[in-house]
């Protein structure tokens, strides 16, 4: 007689954050905000080093958080994929997760879908809040408006 074994349950250790926005600008215009220092800093970060070629450097300092990774896919004006992590972190080290930005024409503008995968589960809430915050700024910047000073201050989970 065999003993009944309960099903094994696994606790997820990785999560994904997905968000989207519509921007009143053509994909070609919005794309520049993902691959140029001037464009990136208009909506996210205070310092950036960007080399938008596959394997090129993706470094953005966001309120004291040194985000480090590499450009993995650069397909103008449709998609950018970068590796993402925090320099010096053991939970989310440089390049551990992936962020894809997919741009599609939509009703006279551009729909931007961000999918951030490979996040440790305890980082999910903070990154969801972060993407909501920064995509609202991208919506303004991408449409040619000044989003103003960035009030973002990351919580402990983002650091």
Give residue-wise pLDDT tens across range 44-87.
Answer: 999 999 999 999 999 999 998 999 999 999 999 999 999 999 99
The answer to whether the beta carbons of residues 128 and 19 sit under 8 Å apart is yes
Res. 88: pLDDT tops 70? yes
Which pTM was predicted?
0.88
Instruction: Label residue 14 by pLDDT band (50, 70, 90).
Output: confident
The answer to whether the beta carbons of residues 154 and 130 sit under 8 Å apart is yes
| Other Cβ atoms within 10 Å of 117 Cβ, number | 15
Q: Is 23 left (phi over 0), alpha (psi -120 to 50) or beta?
A: beta
DSSP reduced 3-state for 155: coil
pLDDT in tens, 130-151: 999 999 999 999 999 999 999 8
3-state percent helix, strand, coil for the chain, nearest multiple of 5:
25, 40, 35
Instruction: Label residue 6 by pLDDT band (50, 70, 90).
Output: low
Tell me what pLDDT residue 8 has: 59
């Amino acid at each position: 007689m065999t003993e009944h074994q309960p099903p094994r349950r696994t606790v997820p250790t990785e999560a994904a954050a997905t968000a989207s926005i519509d921007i009143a600008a053509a994909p070609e215009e919005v794309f520049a905000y993902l691959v140029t220092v001037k464009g990136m800093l208009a909506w996210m970060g205070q310092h950036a080093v960007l080399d938008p070629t596959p394997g090129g450097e993706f470094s953005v300092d966001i309120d004291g958080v040194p985000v480090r990774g590499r450009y993995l896919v650069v397909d103008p004006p449709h998609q950018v994929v970068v590796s993402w992590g925090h320099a010096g972190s053991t939970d989310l080290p440089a390049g551990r997760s992936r962020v894809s930005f997919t741009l599609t024409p939509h009703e006279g503008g551009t729909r931007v879908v961000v999918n951030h995968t490979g996040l440790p589960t305890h980082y999910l809430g903070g990154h969801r809040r972060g993407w909501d915050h920064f995509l609202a700024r991208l919506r303004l910047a991408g449409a040619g408006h000044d989003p103003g000073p960035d009030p973002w201050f990351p919580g402990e989970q983002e650091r």
